[in-house]
Structure 1
């Protein structure tokens, strides 16, 4: 990638700061529902950068974002947690009141939310739960004796969506309704936290960045930040 000149970098960062301040000041709701997603610059578990973003679900506006470098954390997996911590600090400093946060089931995010951000309502993205469930059903049905389960997988997924959409978020009854079908503890725990909001639009935004900043190419810190800001 062509190096970003100092003057361009200065203009881009000023524009970003101005836009983020304007968006944060425009949010006047007492409890705003956010979704979050982390985008890594490379596939697999050897990423150098992670772009972490918070989106207001109602308006689809990006409210906070942080670029984390792996050398600032203990590992590439730890970048998502660090990104969330920084985004939390950014929105709290701006006086934005978060009502709920919808995330995927990242192994470091869930414990952090449970222990360090207890006052916030935390939901798991239903699409990710359904994707994980379908994968496990397919694995189970790959054994000849369990092949019949494969014919029921789509029905089970539809039932999962039906149960979550028609039950109040956070109600343990959601998991109870599915327990006769699935007795896997990890899935049951995830379903009990499933919400009606989603991270879909935010992930689509991160996918747009990939068009200009492909994961198979290396970028500098300023280059990665500039491509992200220009997409806002």
Structure 2
């Protein structure tokens, strides 16, 4: 969804569904906040209208890729629809947590690698347990351990290289390593299982960026001219 202003003060929200195999926009719904009791509820209502419209045309949705909006998660569970999470939105959420550890100079050196590891874990495997096994191996890797106990991921796939800088590795029992381990909590691991290994929402984001150059008239101009995108 896109909103005409950031935060929870938006008046209008536009919800777009894209068929990712062909990059085709299949539906677009405009929602006004006073229709649904506030701007926080616009995203769910937009998705509901889109799905209802598709079903009225006898079009079945195999699965849907979204961000991790709590209302959307609950709505899709109740609708018995398979949901996958966009990797960029997931990684963005982790980056916010990592940015809070500004005092960890050693960890800063690994931030780019951790980001790449998120994408690799999501796209390099297809099953949820395999994604989790690949992702949690990052704790060992940061300690220069590349053979693991998990049978689903026994060894890192990268070539082993000798490092001349022993200080770049995290030490067992260190505060820095503990902060990394806290990021791998149950909620994060649950979400890792649902990361999309194929399609992502980047094509839809590109569409949103494109329509900024072609503003419409009337109320819609407030919606499509906004750079605030939540999905």
State the SS of the aligned residue for 1:53: strand
Match of 1:128 in 2: 89
How far off its partner does 1:197 sit?
Answer: 1.1
Select the residue among 79, 104, 107 that pairs with 1:117: 79
Q: Is the 8 A contact 1:129 1:187 kept in 2?
A: no
Does 2:137 match 1:174?
no
Q: 1:99 to 1:150 in 2, by over 3 A?
A: same
TM-score for the superposition, normalised by structure 1: 0.70
Instruction: Name the structure with the higher helix share.
Output: 1
Q: In the aligned structure 1, how far is the partner of 2:94 from the partner of 2:11?
A: 30
How far off its partner does 1:212 sit?
Answer: 4.3
Match of 1:61 in 2: 24
Select the residue among 195, 204, 207 that pairs with 2:206: 204
Match of 1:194 in 2: 195
Q: In the aligned structure 2, how far is the partner of 1:42 from the partner of 1:210?
A: 14
Instruction: Name the structure with the higher strand share.
Output: 1
After superposition, the CA RMSD in angstroms is 2.3
How far off its partner does 1:132 sit?
Answer: 1.5
Q: 1:41 to 1:225 in 2, by over 3 A?
A: closer
Match of 1:164 in 2: 122
Q: 1:172 to 1:205 in 2, by over 3 A?
A: same
Count of aligned residue pairs for this structure pair: 180
Q: 1:162 to 1:223 in 2, by over 3 A?
A: closer
Match of 1:152 in 2: 110
Match of 1:138 in 2: 99
Consecutive unaligned residues in structure 1, runs of 5 or more? 1-37, 228-232
Match of 1:104 in 2: 67
How far off its partner does 1:139 sit?
Answer: 1.6
Q: In the aligned structure 2, how far is the partner of 1:48 from the partner of 1:108?
A: 19
TM-score for the superposition, normalised by structure 2: 0.71
State the SS of the aligned residue for 2:109: helix
Consecutive unaligned residues in structure 2, runs of 5 or more? 140-182, 226-231
State the SS of the aligned residue for 2:18: strand
Q: Is the 8 A contact 2:64 2:82 kept in 1?
A: yes
Q: In the aligned structure 1, how far is the partner of 2:209 from the partner of 2:38?
A: 23
